[in-house]
Structure 1
Amino acid sequence: MRHFPVRLLVFPALLCSAWLATAARAQTPPPDTSVPTLEAVTVSGEQPGPGLWRATRDGHTLLILGTLTPLPRKMTWKTDEIDEALAHAGALLMPPHVEIKPNTGFFGRLALLPSLIGVRNAPDGATLKDSVPADVYARWLAVKARYIGSDRGVERYRPIFAAIELYKDAVKKSGLARSGDITRTVAALAKKHGVAQVEVTYTLLVDDPRAAVKAFKRSTLDDVSCFTQSIDNIDAQLADMAARANAWATGDVAALRDDRRAKQRLACLNAVTEGGVAQRIGLADVPGTIRARWLTAVDAAVAANTQAVAIVSIDDLLGAHGYLEALKERGYAVESPDGGE
């Protein structure tokens, strides 16, 4: 009998809330709903991408491709630079990621599935109108009409899941798309050159997943702040997402260094990781753990190869506590694609 993992769906879905924070302006006032939204203009055709960050230590080199989501839907990425890098590389570190799985056997995982039904919904049959302040709900109705439409199912969602739905539908209407093709393209190039692909994964096993799901369904999340900032900033977010997407596509590294979204991202992540259920299963420690595992994998790959390549989210790379700063602390000399440190 084939064994396959059934993921504990609730927490990976919640982690997607980080997407909501892209380029948020924490001080932006609520949008004037009487002003029509202008569709963001995104680049198209073949584009070079942002170039590669270079980290060197003891004569060995790590070349890093920073990825971004979303990207222009009609863009074709010119892969000459990453192709050349992989042609001389001994390893490709895939994007670090987290898997949360039930620590049970095959039949235990099947038994878990019914308990996942309705996990996005607010507890006790509450609606968004019941869950958020009246003025916030009024603003929600305005942006919902603009981007989601008349869907009533979302009204039963917890605020953070409603914000995710808003984000997804708004992105679809803005000429942007998720960037999974970038990673798939790099993996295909690595395979062409016979480069070993190194997975950087942190698997969090949940001993009693059914109890965790039931506890989550009964619990409340402090996600009103995340929801409020998401709906108040959605128009500005779309404009900034398009600007950053264009910056990635055209290789404008300076424009990618944008930390205005930090406050909203923190609010959304805290809503996920500070809850009692998340604390009990160890979710609060995940960001630091996956960062440490990536750094360990980098040290091993660089020590074993004259040149290695890595794929990492731009948002993880940049910033005061980003992966690039961590590399510097470990003795690597880091150079930006535009020639700066």
Structure 2
Amino acid sequence: MSSPARLIAALFLAWLSWLPPAAAQQAPPAADVPTLEAVTVQGEQPGPGLWRATRDGRTLFILGSLAPLPKDMTWKTDEIDAALTHSGALISLPRVRIKPNTGFFGRLALLPFLIGVRNAPDGATLKDTVPPDVYARWLAVKARYIGNDRGVERYRPIFAVLELYKSAVKKAGLGKSGEIVRTVSDLARRHGVKEVPVEYTLLVDDPRAAIRSFKRSTLDDVSCFAQSVDNIDVQLADMTRRANAWATGDIAALRDERSERQRATCMNAVTEGGVAQRIGLADVPKAVRDTWLATVDATMANNAQAVAIVPIDDLLGDNGYLEALRAKGYAVASPDDPD
């Protein structure tokens, strides 16, 4: 599923879903031909191919999404187009929403509480928060990728990591994966295929108290920060390699245990804290997977064939969605299987 930054952002930026709907920005419409600027891979590329899960004569084709991706690439959509032509449904990319158990005006009342939520408690800076040797290394990578931004010095370490990755990815010439998802949605609409949403909503009963507690609390995120600072150049190289692997359909190269280990460190920093535990944030990944599996069962009960989009890092691994499908009796074939 990506770099650690995207996973942490998915959790923390969910707080922004508490804002009134008018504050949301609508994504621009997709072009007929998706183009994404490349680092090394350019031109028309096949993408990773489709996983195939079959049970009781019914087939689910699965596209693994990835971020970031090469920018100057044209994705050859023949395979996904053909799969959608004979499908009755497209199961959307799983989404998480964290929202207050309150109405519209309750959300408005939360806005003042959200101010400063990413800053360290009690006016502390990164220099105060992380060990001196780690901070010295941070200054070096900050100068290289972020530049002279004093504001980030007031951030909690995990939010500083987000800024570091966002700037580094941009400098590396990598882009977002949203165009891929929009392209698949456009193809589904073109073929008259209904889109089935997968959304898990975590309701927070006392959001004001949760935000106040979060602002006062400390996160065990120094380890995540140190790993990210020390590994940023290696991570960028890995992101580039995996982006190119996605584009060219190199499934073996998409399996990345080092990224998984760092992702686990940063995820634990987010989900194992007291505030996160109290609102149930630690349970979200399993809840999302269970929601997706239930959606698959319901969709396949009514369709002989369907297509799904899943972040590729959620798809792979011992605890991934593919293994969960096997446990439910599906026969799963990888795009690089000989047959």
Aligned pairs for 1:302-313 within 5 A:
302-313=300-311
Q: Secondary structure at the match of 1:121?
A: coil
Q: Secondary structure at the match of 1:151?
A: coil
Aligned equivalent of 1:12? 11
40, 62, 65: which is aligned to 1:64?
A: 62
TM-score w.r.t. length of structure 1: 0.88
Aligned equivalent of 1:330? 328
Contact in 2 for aligned 1:10/1:119 (Cα 8 Å): no
1:238 aligns with 2:236: yes
Total equivalences in the alignment: 310
Q: Residues 173 and 11 of structure 1: is their aligned pair in 2 closer, same or farther, counting only changes over 3 Å?
A: closer
Q: Residues 176 and 247 of structure 1: is their aligned pair in 2 closer, same or farther, counting only changes over 3 Å?
A: same
Contact in 2 for aligned 1:10/1:120 (Cα 8 Å): no
245, 253, 270: which is aligned to 2:268?
A: 270
Aligned pairs for 1:21-40 within 5 A:
none
Structure 2 CA distance, aligned partners of 1:340 and 1:94? 28
Residue identity in the other structure for 2:47: G
Aligned equivalent of 1:260? 258
Structure 1 CA distance, aligned partners of 2:13 and 2:262? 15
Aligned equivalent of 1:47? 45
298, 305, 318: which is aligned to 2:316?
A: 318
Q: Residues 311 and 235 of structure 1: is their aligned pair in 2 closer, same or farther, counting only changes over 3 Å?
A: same
Q: Secondary structure at the match of 1:86?
A: helix
C-alpha offsets along residues 75-98 of structure 1, whole Å, 9 cap, x if unaligned?
A: 111111111111110011001111
Structure 2 CA distance, aligned partners of 1:291 and 1:163? 26
Distance apart, 1:14 and its partner CA: 6.1
Contact in 1 for aligned 2:97/2:201 (Cα 8 Å): yes
C-alpha offsets along residues 183-223 of structure 1, whole Å, 9 cap, x if unaligned?
A: 01101111111111111111011111111111100000000
1:154 aligns with 2:133: no
Aligned pairs for 1:168-207 within 5 A:
168-207=166-205
Q: Secondary structure at the match of 1:334?
A: strand
Residue identity in the other structure for 2:11: P
Structure 2 CA distance, aligned partners of 1:11 and 1:52? 25
Structure 2 CA distance, aligned partners of 1:292 and 1:108? 30
Contact in 2 for aligned 1:42/1:175 (Cα 8 Å): no
TM-score w.r.t. length of structure 2: 0.89
Structure 2 CA distance, aligned partners of 1:184 and 1:320? 29
Structure 1 CA distance, aligned partners of 2:252 and 2:9? 36
Structure 2 CA distance, aligned partners of 1:133 and 1:192? 55
Contact in 2 for aligned 1:328/1:334 (Cα 8 Å): yes
Aligned pairs for 1:280-299 within 5 A:
280-299=278-297
Contact in 2 for aligned 1:14/1:272 (Cα 8 Å): no
Q: Percent identity?
A: 75
C-alpha offsets along residues 122-154 of structure 1, whole Å, 9 cap, x if unaligned?
A: 000000000000000000000000000000000
Contact in 1 for aligned 2:64/2:310 (Cα 8 Å): yes
Contact in 2 for aligned 1:229/1:264 (Cα 8 Å): yes
Q: Residues 11 and 70 of structure 1: is their aligned pair in 2 closer, same or farther, counting only changes over 3 Å?
A: closer
Q: Residues 340 and 260 of structure 1: is their aligned pair in 2 closer, same or farther, counting only changes over 3 Å?
A: farther
Aligned equivalent of 1:36? none
Distance apart, 1:11 and its partner CA: 7.7
Q: Residues 230 and 15 of structure 1: is their aligned pair in 2 closer, same or farther, counting only changes over 3 Å?
A: farther
1:140 aligns with 2:117: no
Aligned equivalent of 1:94? 92
Contact in 1 for aligned 2:64/2:312 (Cα 8 Å): yes
What root-mean-square deviation, in Å, do the aligned CA atoms of Structure 1 and Structure 2 show? 1.7
Aligned equivalent of 1:120? 118
C-alpha offsets along residues 243-275 of structure 1, whole Å, 9 cap, x if unaligned?
A: 000000011111111222222111111111111
Residue identity in the other structure for 1:90: G
1:300 aligns with 2:298: yes
Structure 1 CA distance, aligned partners of 2:167 and 2:244? 20
C-alpha offsets along residues 92-130 of structure 1, whole Å, 9 cap, x if unaligned?
A: 100111100011111111111111011100000000000
Aligned equivalent of 2:219? 221
Distance apart, 1:12 and its partner CA: 3.0
